[in-house]
A and B are shown apart, each in its own frame.
Chain A
């Protein structure tokens, strides 16, 4: 992965840039000492590191506006950053750029129950929104696994999903409005408390734009009343095919579960050894099905799903009898990554989406590739929406294994696209899959996207080097690099 060549002249202007930023954000708001910059060198994709010229931590929209205006006038690149939990390198700094951190925008500004929305600053954590409204029986639906740390601003930038997005949608489906500062310093408001937009839906366009179009300084999110009850089922199957077929049967029966996850045998074994969630270690595949809603509905649907699973030969069926047990069922799944980290020194995580019906074929091919490359693989899968996370196991200390693992990962992502899927279901393109964009989009497609970028940021100063393959294509394909089990933010549940 190569970033655009840094501009040495800009780096040489560090003193002037830092002084200008300090004029705009006085006090502690500008970090420029080497030791202070270390925490900002990387995000959740810790394989890549870069020290920026400086980090600026504004507190007001006016400051953000002034920073961007000054940077545009002076040709200084800007990388926006929320909590820095991106798994695709979206917040990776540039050697010749400044990082604009939104961590001080951490207030819930308004909760409007009558209109079922909350107005928050972008540095509020995902879970912080729910925390602000749960006493009144509400919650914010999108639930990326890193929700304890990741911020709403980052969620907007990445269009974050979560285990419940099959039923409740991604971030984009749960936003009503935002305040956006353009690279030229102009402040625009998109949407509000009313539904839909007048004119072009720029809110929808900005959501998931990975920090390339503007800096979000305020967000209005939709909040929902909590479901009355949630129940989880564990369903073990003797074959991957029968588990996959059951997922199809559940959807075909008109049931949209709140969560619908699949793990293959290596993932089941790793998670069970780590957590002891009561998973069937001999099953070829495990489904975790969560149903929520009114009690009467859950009772009916649990029975229905159990019947469908039995018809497909499920030989392990367990329904949560309490909220505590439901959480235990999920604990194994949520610990799948650290669990796999215990059985191999290193692993890569992929993030493709495939048409769900192609799952048996794709898993069979991944198993063949695993044999060909001589590297283990464990699969966890958001089965309901077809989002696959194969974990490729390797040891970076054995010469040649890293390269093998990279090639293996490349083959998997190409396979996802070849069967009609996409490069990334939820982690974003960032720097990680940037050079793979050509697998999905031709030059005209990418030109159309880049012209949108130009409408917002004609100087290409906002988060350059991300999303679009600007330099040499590279063989490194989409993955999350984990060395010695050390995922950035190891304490956070992932995926």
Chain B
């Protein structure tokens, strides 16, 4: 782990980033790469010699609302980007979460950080993940080379899609110095339909009905009783929530049709636009689990059978992504959590209490290692952050 005395370097130009990485490579030094530093606790970092933050690479380079494209330096604060595009009636459709309260970290997440970690919120099920909105970038590889990929237009197949590789690489391949993302019109209004008292299995069924009809559901979450007690729901029992967004007439018509499709699931209540917004903000931030000291897991599973993960792992769970994302607080050993999740066709990320990633194994693990080496053969960047542990 990092010695707290280690200085954080905050380069202000891509050239400074290049010089820092090139020097580190030449002197066999290791760098921890951070944006706002809010997710530093995730991943099993090896000791490093210096920390590089992109915080002062914080310029909006170009925002063209009509082109649905925004180019910025990676250290720009996520909240600033969201404010900028909201003023033009647009949004980052992947609804990036902060997780600062959830994991008890300080600071402001950056745009580069959410892309590098591929963080997506409840709208993932409809709009796609961060990686689906990442159009192009410039970066400094672990070799200390400045390179670019992709473009600044929404449709492009020129060359390998290295954006997908950077998204979710947690700063282990390159330090982003400029990113271009797709932005989309924000919905005019939203509502949330709620079902009550459903056990997890029935909730999964109800969410599948909602997702499989022409209702354009943009959020589907299930909170067992303990998680539903909080504001704004203050519900007495388990609550299953389905969000509809868009133009007013469309939302009203879909809400009516969806309620009819879910007749067999008991009482249905609706949240108005403001409460709905507040509620999904809490789901995005997993507020029900904030401050709990137990190991915290994020299980990605096939949606229809997502509940089986937590049911095989004693603890507390809640569900997003129509059941495809299970948040789990459990004291079960990490190896067991990973084994159960993999056995169900999913994968697990630990945010607290165990190494974040599982071991890299077999032919796929070796391929991942070769991809890492292609960009960072000396292992300069974020050593250990994505290294697996059983």
Contact = CB atoms under 8 A, between A and B. Distances in A.
A201 B254 contact: no
Interface stretch (B4-12, B19-27, B211-219): B211-219
Given A200-B169, A296-B249, A386 B374 contact: no
Contacts of A353: 151, 153-156
Given A115-B302, A204-B131, A420-B153, A300 B250 contact: yes
Interface stretch (B105-113, B181-189, B227-235): B181-189
Contact of A158 (B67, B120, B157, B246): B157
Contacts of B321: 195
B253 A294 contact: yes
Interface string B375-386: 100000000001
Contacts, number: 262
Main SS of the interface on chain B? Answer: mixed
B165 interface: yes
B129 interface: yes
Given A449-B149, A455-B371, A198 B363 contact: no
A293 B303 contact: no
Contact of A444 (B147, B151, B253, B324): B147
Contact of B214 (A166, A228, A256): A228
Contacts of A201: 118, 131, 164-165, 167-168
B153 A195 contact: no
A301 B247 contact: yes
Contacts of B64: 355, 357
B160 A209 contact: yes
Contact of A294 (B154, B157, B158, B216): B216
B156 A424 contact: yes
B159 A386 contact: no
Interface residues of A, number: 93
B146 A444 contact: yes
A296 B254 CA distance: 9
Chain B interface category by residue count: 35 or more
Nearest to A454: B374
Contacts of B167: 201, 204
A202 B374 contact: no
Given A296-B250, A382-B155, A455 B211 contact: no
B371 A420 contact: no
B347 A188 contact: no
16 contacts: A112-B302, A115-B302, A195-B324, A196-B120, A200-B168, A293-B250, A356-B66, A382-B155, A385-B153, A424-B157, A424-B158, A440-B158, A441-B148, A445-B149, A448-B147, A467-B159
Interface of B: 64-69, 89, 118, 120, 124-125, 128-129, 131-132, 141, 145-149, 151-165, 167-169, 173, 184-186, 188, 208, 211-214, 216, 246-247, 249-250, 252-254, 257, 300-305, 321, 324-325, 345-349, 357-358, 360, 362-364, 367-368, 370-375, 386
Interface of A: 112-116, 137-138, 158-159, 161, 165-166, 169-170, 172-173, 182, 186-190, 192-205, 207-209, 225-228, 248, 251-256, 293-297, 299-301, 353-357, 382, 385-387, 420-429, 433, 437, 440-441, 444-449, 451-452, 454-456, 467
